[in-house]
Amino acid sequence: MEPVRKIALHELVVERLRRAIHLGDYLPGDMLPPERDIAERLNVSRETVRDAIRVLEREGYVLSRRGVAGGHTVTALTEPVARMLSQVRSDPEGLLHLMEYRRANECLSARMAAERGKAGQIRMIGRAVDELLTAGDIPQFRRADATFHRAIAQAAGNPYVERAVQDAREVIFLLHGNRDYKIILDTTLAAHREIFVAIEAGNPDAAEAAMASHIDVAMDEIQSTLRPHARKRVRLNSRP
């Protein structure tokens, strides 16, 4: 067993807020809720929230302005994206492991959504596809993309699968910021439509296969960005 590390309460708040930003709940330019609201939602003190905000400021996630008209605004995420890209370049095997984890869980999620998804949940998936059409920039694309995959995970009807999908989405979120927006919009929109059609038709095999193809293409796009002149790219091995 590994030693237990003491975690300060504000670190848990940092994790919650950072995760919300990574999952697209708050986009660049959005204001975080007031400190009082965050404190009430998380059942912590306002001082704990302030400590968490200070950490997010240092990490480049938020800009804070004091005073009556002040608040905490999500940044363009330039620093977090740069750190993420540096980490991936220094540990390409880690990226492969993440995408394998994502592939396994999201293929299962798509299959289960086709088998179990309720009408209202499937309509939510369809609306997430439509949101990509109105996404005018990378942050809006991030939100629409995350909403689509989270909606499928909810329709799967398994909280463990849903949590696994969200965990992977949280990590992969920042990598969207360094890829050609027009290319990823076209390929992502086509893939999302194919996945949605299969889920709506109640075809689990087609939904699983479409999701696997989508994640394989995403892996290729990420690797092209990280190593544009590489001749050989790592591919995901398993297929449904």
Are 74 and 28 in contact, with CB atoms under 8 Å apart?
yes
Phi, psi of 65 (to 5 degrees): -130, 130
The strand ranges marked E within 115-222 are none
Neighbouring C-beta atoms of residue 27, cutoff 10 Å: 16
Domains parsed from the chain with CATH numbers: 9-74 (1.10.10.10), 79-226 (1.20.120.530)
pTM of the model: 0.82
pLDDT in tens, the chain (240 residues): 878 777 899 999 999 999 999 888 999 999 999 999 999 999 999 999 999 999 999 999 999 988 767 799 999 988 998 888 888 888 888 888 989 999 999 999 999 999 999 999 999 999 999 998 888 787 888 888 889 999 999 999 999 999 999 999 888 876 755 555 666 788 889 999 999 999 999 999 999 999 999 999 888 877 776 665 444 455 565 545
d(CA 111, CA 201): 12
Among the listed residues 50, 18, 22, the one whose alpha carbon sits nearest the alpha carbon of residue 36: 50
